[in-house]
Structures are given as structure tokens and as C-alpha cells.
Amino acid sequence: MTTILEQASQQSPEAAPARKFRLRGISAWAIRVLLGIVFSFPLLFMFVSSLKPDAQIFGDLSSMAAFLPVGDLSTENYQAVFERVPAARFLINSIAIAAVTVALGVLINSLAAFALSRLQMRGKGIILTLIIATLIVPFETLALPLVWWVNKLPWLEINGFSLSLTTGWLDTYQVQIIPFVANAFSIYLFHQYFESIPKELDEAARVDGAGWFKIYSRIIMPLSGPAIATVSILTFLPAWNSYLWPLMVVQSEELRPVMVGVQYFFQLNVSWGEIMAYSSMITLPVVALFIAFQRSFVNSIASSGVKG
């Protein structure tokens, strides 16, 4: 008996830190789960409400039933969405606009960041500072001058087998894409991530006869997966959520994105079940994109923060 007590007394000082560390880990996970539940409540309410009629939505607001799929559930609100607005067309437009904006944004911003990170030139720091300084200018102050400029820009229009030069980008797809391709924050993220890649790789490639574009496409970009994922998400979100700019420059219904379609549901008879159904449809792609790239997103932000 004495031997057992002596062994326990010898082990307790070493076991205490391990037990404390284990309890700390459990507490951290409990806090994360709790925060996850709290932040998921709005999404859960939106999706559950999209399956209920308006009367039941308001009737359940005073209880936890508002977050539970109980009562008169159906997909009638989703069917009504496609009857009330051209939702399929809006979704296709937003997917196309966001995809092209992301593709061009990754290319243009990464090239700009590569030049600032790798090429030897005077004033690189000043140029990067000026680029970052543009982030303090709100878009609302640039919207009206930008509308004037895009209305004066030329564009090649294809009519059958002939090309004609037209003036003005209003009411087109390109006016919703090109003004938002270059982004100061994306350039900054790429620049910070490129700085974390050893420049000895560039020197070895230059010795082997590789040019700068080959170094960019064969060495730097393949090593920059987290940065590409982060920039893709941060470019996709504004393109998908764009509302003010399309209202200003797009008049044709067949060119409008999904966010403009929200205002259709506040005309005449307002149906909150249909609004929740439409909101669920346009939220799902964003949630799916973030879940798919969340690990790369976190890694890139961590790398940029440490390097900065």
C-alpha cells in the first residue's frame, strides 16, 4: 500500500501539466464549437425558413422552432422563386462574371506582385505603398467617375462574321468584370507570399537559362497554392455580392447578376419564404467555395501575416 502511494506521489507532479494541457485543449474545442453554433444560426434560420410558408415563419419566431425543420415543410418557395424571377439566368450570369473575374484577377495581380517582388527596379517600395494606399478610397467615391469612363471606352462588337468598333461599355458583361480585375489587396497578398519563397530558386533557374515568365509560371505559381486560393475567394466574394455597380450600369434583365434579383421580391406582394429560398440559393456557392479552400485560405493569411 505504501509503495502504491509513493508511486502515485511521484507521478502526480508530471501528470498535472499533461492533465492541464488536455483540459485546456478540450476547453478550446468547446469554445470553437459554441462559436460555430452561434454563427451558424442565421444560415440555419434562413434555410429552414425557406421550407416554410410565411405564416409559420412568423409563428415560429418566438421559439426554437424557428431553427428546426418542423411543421408544414415543402419546396414550394423554391418553385415560386423560378416563377417570379429569372433566377436561373441570374445564377448563370453571376457564375460567369465571378469565374472570369477570378481567373483574370489571379493572373493580373500575381504578375504585378511578381514584378514587385522579383524584378530589380528602383522605387518598388513606393509603388507598393501607393497601391496599398488605394484601399482607403471607398468605391462609392469612384462609382460615378467610373461610370463616365466606361461609357467612353471602345469595344469590338461581333456581328455575325464582321467586327465593328463601338463606344461605351454600359449594359454589357465586360463592364461588370474588367473594372474589378486589378485589386490592391490581392497584389499585396501575392507579394507577401512571393517574398516567403526563397529567391535562390530564381537564381538557379536563371543559371539554367529560364526567363522571368518561365520562373513565374513554372516555379513561383506552383508553390503559391494557398495565395491563389485566398485571392480567388477574396475576388469571388465581391464579384458574387455585387449589387450597387450592376444597378448603375446594367439595364437589360438578361445581363443582371443574382444580387440584383433580390429587389424583385420586395415589389408588390412580399413573400419572406421566397426571399429565404432565393437567399439560400445564392449563399450556397459561397459557403461551398469557402469550405473547399478554407485550409489554403488560413495558411495564406498566416504566411502573409508572419512575413508582413
Whether residue 6 is contained in a domain is answered as: no
Asked whether the predicted pLDDT for residue 11 surpasses 90, the reply is no
In this predicted structure, what is the pLDDT of residue 140?
A: 86
User: Which sign, positive or negative, has the C-alpha torsion 30, 31, 33, 38?
Assistant: positive
Residues 45 and 146 in one domain: no
Asked whether the predicted pLDDT for residue 307 surpasses 50, the reply is no
Residues 159 and 67 in one domain: no
Residues 99 and 236 in one domain: yes
Whether residue 79 is contained in a domain is answered as: no
Nearest to residue 183, comparing CAs of 108, 293, 97?
A: 108
Whether residue 163 is contained in a domain is answered as: yes
Whether residue 3 is contained in a domain is answered as: no
What value does the mean pLDDT of the chain take? Answer: 85
Mean pLDDT throughout 141-151?
Answer: 90
Cα distance between residue 100 and residue 94, in whole Å: 10
Residues 130 and 211 in one domain: yes
Residues 61 and 89 in one domain: no
Contacts of 271 by beta carbon, 8 Å cutoff, 6+ apart: 54, 77, 80, 265
Can you give the CATH number for the domain in which 296 is found? 1.10.3720.10
Structural contact between residues 49 and 57, judged by C-beta atoms closer than 8 angstroms: yes
Whether residue 187 is contained in a domain is answered as: yes
Q: Into how many domains does the chain fold?
A: 2
Domain boundary among the residues 24, 43, 74 is at 74
Residue 189 grid coordinates = 497578398
> Using the 8-state DSSP alphabet, how is residue 218 labeled?
I
Residues 274 and 247 in one domain: yes
- Helix H or strand E encompassing 38: helix 2-49
Residues 195 and 299 in one domain: yes
Whether residue 167 is contained in a domain is answered as: yes
CA distances from 266 to 82, 263, 269 (A): 15, 5, 7
Structural contact between residues 271 and 81, judged by C-beta atoms closer than 8 angstroms: no
Residues 93 and 210 in one domain: yes
Least confident of 46-50, 55-59, 160-164, 243-247: 160-164
In this predicted structure, what is the pLDDT of residue 161?
A: 63
Residues 113 and 171 in one domain: yes
- In terms of Cβ atoms closer than 10 Å to its own Cβ (0-12, 13-18, 19+), residue 238 is middle
Residues 63 and 99 in one domain: no
Residues 52 and 157 in one domain: no
Mean pLDDT throughout 172-195?
Answer: 92
Asked whether the predicted pLDDT for residue 101 surpasses 90, the reply is yes
Asked whether the predicted pLDDT for residue 203 surpasses 90, the reply is no
Asked whether the predicted pLDDT for residue 110 surpasses 90, the reply is yes
Cα distance between residue 21 and residue 123, in whole Å: 49
Which of the two residues, 42 and 162, has the higher pLDDT score? 42
In this predicted structure, what is the pLDDT of residue 235?
A: 92
- Three-class SS of residue 89? helix
Domain boundary among the residues 45, 74, 103 is at 74
Confidence at 13, pLDDT banded by 50, 70, 90: low
Virtual CA dihedral for 37, 43, 44, 49, nearest 10 degrees? 160
In this predicted structure, what is the pLDDT of residue 182?
A: 92
In this predicted structure, what is the pLDDT of residue 303?
A: 57
For residue range 234-268, what is the model confidence (pLDDT) as tens digits?
899 999 999 999 999 998 989 999 999 888 888 77
Whether residue 4 is contained in a domain is answered as: no
Asked whether the predicted pLDDT for residue 14 surpasses 70, the reply is no
Structural contact between residues 175 and 169, judged by C-beta atoms closer than 8 angstroms: yes
In this predicted structure, what is the pLDDT of residue 115?
A: 92
Domain boundary among the residues 47, 74, 101 is at 74
For residue range 54-64, what is the model confidence (pLDDT) as tens digits?
899 988 888 88
Whether residue 2 is contained in a domain is answered as: no
Residues 181 and 288 in one domain: yes
In this predicted structure, what is the pLDDT of residue 270?
A: 84
Nearest to residue 72, comparing CAs of 273, 280, 270?
A: 273
Residue 272 grid coordinates = 419572406
Find the domain containing 208 and state its range. 85-307
